[in-house]
Amino acid sequence: MLLEVQNLKVKYGSIEALHGISFNVKEGEIVTLIGANGAGKTTTLHTITRVPPPEGPKVCEGDILFKGKSILNLEPHEVVHKLHIGLAPEGRHIFGNLTVEENLKLATYARNDDSKIKEDYKLVYRLFPRLYERRKQRSESLSGGEQQMLAVGRALMTGANFLLLDEPSMGLAPLLMYEMFRALKELNQKEGITILLIEQNALLALQFAHRGYVLDTGEIVLSGTSEELLNNPEVKKAYLGG
């Protein structure tokens, strides 16, 4: 098992955001965690990537295992550079005053595998030709969708082979959304990149992932293959508009 979240309870101060959730991701899979606003999706990703308190979530029970070993004692940079987990965060957090190229370059600072870095640039620009066209452009002048692509590209440039994506469809027009998910599928199928996808757009997520979990106010209430979830009456009613 690549990632195993076990009975995870997480608090912000006195507010418990996750009430003991368990799920797993195997190597090569696309797994989605779907849920409404405030369900605890971002909290889950921030706990895995070890965003520290006080702003970050604090684990009070449970464990997170990566290849069988607990990662709760790791620092955020160790999660990125030792485990090769890349986060494309909610709200993107790219450096607006830097160009596309500079944002990508910055993500490689801790790497010394120069030939692989070159390949990764090629990969990112092949996946997202728009980023190549706009590589000299300041990132703040990109459209929301292009910034989202840059956030994914940047996660790849850290050398990640496991991507955590926080609502990559957020705010995207249908055409860009399609481009984004086509690129992500290619990453999974051709490059063997494992993906944990957090989404509010359940239909999109379940069409794309192999399997999924439904997170409802801090609890996992359902799980199954994407097909099972798409056909589940409760999922249909609550997340797919009936």
Ligand X SMILES: Nc1ncnc2c1ncn2[C@@H]1O[C@H](COP(=O)(O)OP(=O)(O)OP(=O)(O)O)[C@@H](O)[C@H]1O
Residues that bind ligand X (CB under 6 A): 12, 15, 17, 35, 37-43, 55, 90, 200
Among 32, 42, 169, 226, binds Mg ion (CB under 5 A): 42
Q: How far is the CB of 90 from ligand X (least distance, A)?
A: 6
String of DSSP letters for 79-120? HHHTT-EEEE-TT----TTSBHHHHHHHTTTT---HHHHHHH
Shorter beta-carbon distance to Mg ion: residue 32 or 42? 42
Retrieve residue 28's tokens: 């090569």
- The answer to whether the CB of 26 falls within 8 A of the CB of 36 is no
Shorter beta-carbon distance to Mg ion: residue 44 or 108? 44
Shorter beta-carbon distance to ligand X: residue 108 or 147? 147
- Say whether residue 47 binds Mg ion (CB under 5 A): no
Report residue 104 CA to chain centroid gap: 17
Shorter beta-carbon distance to ligand X: residue 108 or 201? 201
* Among Mg ion, ligand X, none, residue 212 binds (CB under 5-8 Å by kind): none
* Among ligand X, Mg ion, none, residue 52 binds (CB under 5-8 Å by kind): none
Secondary structure, 3-state, 130-187: HHHHCCCCEHHHCCHHHHHHHHHHHHHHCCCCEEEEECCCCCCCHHHHHHHHHHHHHH
Q: How far is the CB of 141 from ligand X (least distance, A)?
A: 26
Site of interaction with Mg ion (CB under 5 A): 41-42, 90
